């Protein structure tokens, strides 16, 4: 996400068009076997239905809508398994974990029993396949595609979440930049978001203090507010491909180093791909168009109108689980590239190793810690330390499920 | 199929107070403390209608409904025909210290689900002793066990004949067991550190293992009536017997 790069790093680099080519080529993976349609057909296996009737229907109802209150002996609300907005969000693996070990294993009600001693993994999968038939609208991307969120790259999967990101420069002029991001899904494929950056930046132009020591004048303020929209265009059980655009408003203060104070439109394409062995890839490519061509780049003023730029992000990661049901750890390596689309412009590259970890039992609150290392122009661009705190609010309150 | 829970009205009482006693059973094996819980007729008083309990509605589960010819009554206080009080844990409070260090028996205790009822409704085990939880019904039961001092669990048992084995490491009295599908199904699990305990059946009788001579406090615990206790002195060669009496009201 090019706007986020700017807020967090204070630099804008250049990119060749290779990223877009790779991204579009990767979308061909959508035609691989294991499509949602094929899987749906298999989900209607009669054994799964029979097992569901034996083990689940007493409470969840034969139709998945939940048993009537007078048919059960507890007050906890039952989910509507036919509600695609609910039923599509989590991967099979999470549903099966709860079915095996009971609700508390993911911070849910202890009324949900454990069936590990009643059903084996194949039977639980058959039940899960039957449950998947309750949501009949296949426009909803499956939760398997909700891959771990990188620090910079926009996911293709639409989300409901709050994310607070903070970054600090390791050297050079000090800068501590925060961003509070709110994302909201609507419909089966869409997401809107608003990002509110704010922070502190050291003004390197401040004259020395009267005692001859180094001066430290920190600017505090609001960055460039960003509004975004994203739509999942295509998806199957392993791949999701989305389009989005972000509009950055000139609310920042470039002189203080908090935002660029420019109006900018940034369309992008994003792809998420599940790989074997719990590995995954994110790809994102896009461009930026400045409506007003005044910007600061590495301390040098540029005055070219309608500056165009492009960026490409790639992420490779893998998720590990502590024990059978424990915390999820997702180490990722993120490669960032960006360039001005002008003659002679050279791309800038960054490497961002990072680790995301789920913090609570429900796994809807997460932390990601990483460092952004410039691979080009390292003499003028600072290494950054970054951390985000993520709350998937659709899955429950911030203090639920610990 | 309904014999354990009965179908008729609750034991006639006169003044609204239930008075129940554990009465000595008399002769027993040498060195054992024996007794039975009885309703002392002269001590049971109710005002107005006796608590008959609530009717159990099994209509939500055809299997459960079809297993019983008549409507069952949910009676938290079960009194047998001879006045004995069922589902009471009787234990020695101040058991000999050495008894706590004896190994837990390897024999499995059983908590069954049969005809959509727990059998028995109270089961006592030693800490560490295996407890088998079985579903003898051809319908789904869940077994939600909610201890205070031990880890809880909730087992889904959808298959007739399925059984799971659990044990509890920390002594705890009155662990609640319930089925969230069939709300009338409740039971208690008791975990004791020693072997000097018993759970009464419908005749109210209990038998405790041989005790060494000494002064003991014997406690009876019922899930709704609470506890009563008595002190008893056991001398060499004697078989003490006693009555423990409950009253509520």
User: Which region among A279-283, A340-344, B197-201 has the lowest average model confidence (pLDDT)?
Assistant: A340-344
Give Cα separations from A177 to A122, A212, A219, A268, A280 (angstroms).
48, 29, 11, 24, 29
Domain ranges of chain A: 2-31+142-395, 44-132
Q: How many CB atoms lie within 10 A of CB A378?
A: 11
Q: Out of B154, B164, B181, name the one closest to residue A102 (CB).
A: B154
Contact A59 B181 (CB under 8 A): yes
Q: Show the beta-strand stretches assigned E in chain B.
A: 16-23, 33-38, 45-46, 54-55, 73-74, 89-92, 109-114, 117-119, 122-126, 131-135, 141-146, 153-157, 163-166, 172-178, 186-192, 197-199, 205-208, 214-222, 226-234, 245-248
CA–CA distances in Å: residue B20 to residues A265, A321, B244: 83, 56, 8
Cα of A109 to nearest chain B Cα, Å: 11
Asked if B199 and B123 touch (Cβ cutoff 8 Å), the reply is: yes
pLDDT at A37 over 60: no
In a domain, B243, yes or no: yes
Amino acid A194: pLDDT: 97
Fold of A44-132: Cytochrome Bc1 Complex; Chain D, domain 2 (1.10.760)
Quick count: other Cβ atoms within 10 Å of Cβ B101? 8
- Say if the Cβ atoms of A111 and B144 lie within 8 Å: yes
Nearest partner of B37 among B199, B238, B240, judged by Cα:
B199
Domain A2-31+142-395 has CATH 3.100.10.20: no
Whether residue A110 and residue B156 make contact (CB cut-off 8 A), yes or no, is no
For residues B132 and B128, what is the distance between their CA atoms, to the nearest angstrom?
A: 12
- Cβ-contact A219, A185 below 8 angstroms: no
Distance (Å, whole) CA A357 – CA A380: 32
Specify if B52 maps to a domain. yes
* Alpha-carbon gap: B5 to the closest alpha carbon of chain A (Å): 20
* Residue closest to A171 by CA, chosen among A373, A396, A398: A373
Strands A308-318 and A279-290: antiparallel
A113 with B143: Cβ contact below 8 A: yes
Yes or no: say if B216 and B235 are a contact pair by the CB < 8 Å rule.
no
Cβ-based contacts of A119 with chain B (< 8 Å): 158
Question: For residue B37, is pLDDT > 90?
Answer: no
Residues of B in contact with A73 (CB under 8 A): 178-184
Contacts of B71 (CB under 8 A, 6+ apart): B7, B55, B56
A121-132 and A92-101 helices, crossing angle to 10° = 120
Give tens-digit pLDDT for A75-119: 999 999 999 999 999 999 999 999 999 999 999 999 999 999 999
| B residues 7-66 lying closer than 8 A (beta carbon) to A | 60-61
Neighboring chain A residues of B158 at a CB cutoff of 8 Å: 54-55, 115, 118-119
The rounded distance, in Å, linking the Cα atoms of B81 and A383 is: 84
In a domain, B43, yes or no: yes
Q: Is residue B212 part of a domain?
A: no
**pLDDT of A8 over the 60 cut:** no
Number of domains chain B is built from: 1
Q: What is the pLDDT of residue A351?
A: 98
Whether B100 is covered by a domain: the verdict is no
Distance from CA of B16 to the nearest CA of A (A): 30
- Is A257 in contact with A219 (CB distance < 8 Å)? yes
Which residues in chain A have their CB less than 8 angstroms from residue B153's CB? 102, 114
Interface with B, mutate which of A118, A119, A325 (most B CBs under 10 A): A118
In the stretch 96-115 of chain A, residues with CB closer than 8 A to chain B read 102-103, 110-115
- SS3 (DSSP) at B206: strand
Half-sphere exposure of residue B34: CA atoms within 13 angstroms, side-chain side: 12
pLDDT of amino acid B243: 77
Burial class of residue A267, CB neighbours in 10 A (0-12, 13-18, 19+): middle
Taking CB atoms and an 8 Å cutoff, what residues of chain A touch B183?
A: 72-73
* Tokens 């989300």, located at residue: A159
- The answer, yes or no, to whether residue A339 has pLDDT greater than 80, is yes
Name the more confident of B181 and A174. B181
Any domain includes B51: yes
pLDDT digits (tens, 9 = 90+) for A246-274: 999 988 877 766 777 788 999 999 999 99
- pLDDT-based confidence at B110, cuts 50/70/90? very high
**In this model, does residue B5 exceed pLDDT 50?**
no
Domain around B235: 1-85+224-249
Residue B138 lies in a domain: no
Instruction: Indicate the pairing of strand A226-235 with strand B16-23.
Output: unpaired
Contact A158, A89 (CB under 8 A): no
Interchain pair B156, A114: CB under 8 A: yes
In a domain, B44, yes or no: yes
Q: How far apart are CA B215 and CA A340, in angstroms?
A: 93
pLDDT at residue A306 in the model = 63
Asked whether B134 and B108 are in contact (CB, 8 A), the reply is: no
Nearest Cβ partner of B180 from A111, A115, A119? A111
What is the ipTM metric for this complex?
0.80
Angle between the N-to-C axes of helices A121-132 and A46-55, in degrees from 0 to 180, rounded to the nearest 10: 100
Q: Which residue has the tokens 């993120």?
A: A334
pLDDT at position A327 is 95
């Amino acid at each position: 996400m090019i706007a986020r790069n700017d807020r967090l790093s204070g630099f804008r680099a250049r990119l060749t068009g290779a990223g877009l080519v790779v991204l579009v080529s990767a979308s061909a993976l959508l035609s691989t076997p294991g499509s949602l349609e094929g899987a749906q057909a298999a989900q209607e296996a009669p054994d799964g239905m029979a097992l569901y009737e034996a083990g689940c229907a007493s409470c969840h109802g034969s139709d998945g809508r939940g048993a009537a209150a007078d048919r059960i002996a507890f007050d906890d609300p039952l989910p509507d398994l036919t509600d695609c907005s609910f039923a599509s969000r989590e991967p099979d693996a999470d549903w099966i974990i709860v079915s095996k070990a009971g609700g508390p294993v993911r911070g849910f009600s202890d009324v949900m029993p454990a069936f590990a001693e009643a059903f084996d993994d194949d039977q639980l999968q058959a039940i899960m396949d039957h449950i998947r038939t309750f949501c009949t609208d296949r426009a909803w991307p499956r939760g398997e595609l909700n891959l771990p969120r990188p620090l910079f790259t926009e996911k293709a999967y639409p989300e409901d979440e709050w994310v607070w990101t903070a970054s600090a420069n390791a050297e050079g002029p000090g800068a501590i930049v925060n961003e509070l991001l709110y994302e909201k899904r609507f419909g089966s494929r869409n997401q809107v978001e608003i990002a509110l950056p704010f922070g502190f930046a050291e003004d390197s132009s401040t004259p020395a203090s009267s005692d001859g020591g180094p001066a430290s004048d920190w600017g505090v303020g609001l960055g460039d507010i960003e509004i975004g929209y994203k739509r999942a265009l295509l998806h199957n059980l392993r791949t999701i491909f989305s389009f989005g655009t972000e509009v950055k408003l000139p609310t920042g203060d470039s002189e203080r180093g908090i935002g660029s104070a420019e109006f900018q439109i940034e369309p992008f394409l994003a792809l998420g791909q599940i790989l074997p062995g719990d590995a995954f890839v994110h790809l994102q490519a896009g461009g930026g168009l400045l409506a007003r061509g005044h910007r600061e780049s590495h301390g040098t003023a540029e005055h070219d109108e309608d500056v165009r730029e492009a960026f490409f992000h790639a992420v490779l990661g893998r998720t590990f689980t502590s024990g059978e049901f424990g915390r999820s750890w997702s180490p990722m390596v993120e490669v960032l590239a960006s360039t001005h689309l002008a003659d002679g412009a050279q791309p800038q590259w960054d490497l961002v190793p990072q680790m995301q970890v789920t913090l609570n039992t429900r796994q809807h609150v997460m932390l990601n810690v990483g460092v952004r290392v410039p691979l080009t122009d390292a003499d003028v661009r600072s290494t950054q330390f970054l951390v985000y705190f993520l709350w998937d609010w659709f899955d429950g309150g911030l203090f639920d499920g610990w | 199929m309904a014999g354990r829970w009965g179908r008729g009205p609750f034991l006639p009482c006169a003044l609204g107070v239930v008075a129940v006693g554990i009465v000595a059973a008399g002769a027993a094996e040498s060195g054992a403390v024996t007794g039975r819980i009885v309703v002392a007729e002269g001590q049971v008083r109710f005002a107005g209608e006796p608590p008959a309990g609530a009717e159990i509605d099994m209509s939500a589960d055809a299997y459960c409904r079809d297993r019983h010819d008549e409507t069952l009554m949910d009676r938290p206080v079960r009194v047998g025909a001879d006045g004995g009080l069922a589902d009471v844990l009787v234990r020695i409070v101040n058991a000999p210290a050495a008894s706590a260090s004896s190994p837990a028996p390897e024999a499995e205790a059983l908590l069954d689900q049969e005809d959509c009822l727990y059998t028995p409704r109270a089961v006592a085990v030693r800490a560490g002793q295996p407890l088998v939880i079985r579903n003898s019904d051809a319908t789904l039961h869940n077994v939600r066990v909610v201890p205070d001092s031990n880890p809880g669990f909730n087992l889904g048992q959808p298959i007739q004949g399925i059984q799971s084995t659990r044990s509890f490491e920390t002594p705890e009295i009155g662990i609640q067991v319930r089925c969230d599908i069939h709300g009338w199904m409740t039971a208690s699990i008791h975990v004791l550190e020693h072997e000097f305990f018993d759970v009464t059946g419908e005749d109210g009788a209990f038998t405790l293992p041989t005790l060494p001579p000494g002064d003991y406090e014997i406690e009876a615990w019922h899930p709704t009536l609470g506890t009563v206790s008595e002190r008893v002195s056991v001398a060499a060669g004697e078989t003490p017997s006693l009555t423990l009496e409950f009253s509520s009201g």
